[in-house]
Amino acid sequence: MNLTLKIWRQGGKYKGEFVTYKLDNVNEHMSFLEMLDVLNEQLIAQREEPIAFEHDCREGICGTCSLVIDGRPHGPMKGTTTCQLHMRHYNDGDTIVIEPFRAKAFPVIRDLVVDRSAFDRIIQAGGYISVNTGQAQDANAIPIEKDQASRAFDAAACIGCGACVAACPNASAMLFTSAKVSHLALLPQGEVERRRRVLAMIAQMDKEGFGKCSNVTACEAECPKEISVSNIARMNREYLGASFAGETA
């Protein structure tokens, strides 16, 4: 298939603009990123600057790849990262618009690459259980109900890609933050630090410049791991409970 690509370029000789590229003979079995690889090889052959985009595992688990494709983070397929999106979902003659994830808290580094280190700082604020190496008791000393463990896993499946922020009109990081709060709040091991954790993580989230949640739920719709917005509700409850308990971050 032959495609027209409108791609955001920023940095180097580009001040920040869409540049249009034609790409012919795209194979339907290619992944979306392999399609961009082919375009970059062509640009390099013409001694042009290749397009910077981030990627690594190409198996949908590392959370490195991003891109807003035709207005949707990670493109049109439900529960799918950009690296797992394949060209068989496109047609000959299509025009595809490709942008970086856009949010104040995710500054653009170059072209389609943004800085998502704000997420790391939210985790550093409290997204962990404080247990030093060697302090643990026997693993089976803490039975955890299977469904409860499974709910914790569902929240822990977050890959930290930032699609939730890119999808949100307010660029809110509530889904990301609440997934970690939920993962740890649902487990008995997380109980001790439960109140302090939620307050500290939300304080950091606000400090990073992410917006507020206004229940649009686009985050859930675009999340490649289908993390549920029920985690946001849980985080709100945790936050209220911790606040009423007089806890401080």
Torsions phi, psi for 231 (to 5 deg): -65, -35
Residue 19 binding other proteins, by CB under 8 A = no
Residue 128 binding other proteins, by CB under 8 A = yes
When binding is defined by CB under 8 A, the residue of 134, 169, 215, 246 that contacts other proteins is 134
Distances (CA, A) of 152 to 34, 48, 81, 180: 34, 47, 22, 9
Residue 249 binding other proteins, by CB under 8 A = no
SS3 helix, strand, coil % of the chain, rounded to 5?
Answer: 40, 15, 45
Residue 216 binding other proteins, by CB under 8 A = no
Residue 206 binding other proteins, by CB under 8 A = no
Residue 192 binding other proteins, by CB under 8 A = no
Residue 136 binding other proteins, by CB under 8 A = yes
CB under 8 A: which stretch of 26-34, 94-102, 230-238, 241-249 binds other proteins?
Answer: 26-34
DSSP codes joined into one string, 100-162 = ----TTS-EEETTEE--HHHHHHHHTT-S----TT----GGGS---HHHHHHHHHHHT-----
CB under 8 A: which stretch of 93-101, 120-128, 208-216, 239-247 binds other proteins?
Answer: 120-128
Within 10 angstroms of residue 151's Cβ, the number of other Cβ atoms is 19
Strand ranges (E), the chain:
3-11, 14-23, 68-69, 72-73, 95-99, 108-110, 113-114
When binding is defined by CB under 8 A, the residue of 45, 215, 244, 246 that contacts other proteins is 45
From residue 99 to residue 118, the character string flagging contacts with other proteins as x (rule: CB under 8 A) and all else as - is ----------xx--x-xxx-
CB under 8 A: which stretch of 62-70, 94-102, 166-174, 239-247 binds other proteins?
Answer: 62-70
When binding is defined by CB under 8 A, the residue of 15, 17, 93, 146 that contacts other proteins is 146
Nearer to other proteins, 85 or 232 (CB): 85
Residue 13 binding other proteins, by CB under 8 A = no
Compute CA 105 distance to the chain's CA centroid, rounded to the nearest angstrom: 13
Whether the Cβ atoms of residue 26 and residue 3 lie closer than 8 Å to each other: yes
When binding is defined by CB under 8 A, the residue of 1, 61, 97, 216 that contacts other proteins is 61
* Angstrom distance (rounded) from CA 173 to CA 105: 9
* Distance in Å, CB of 45 to other proteins, minimum: 7
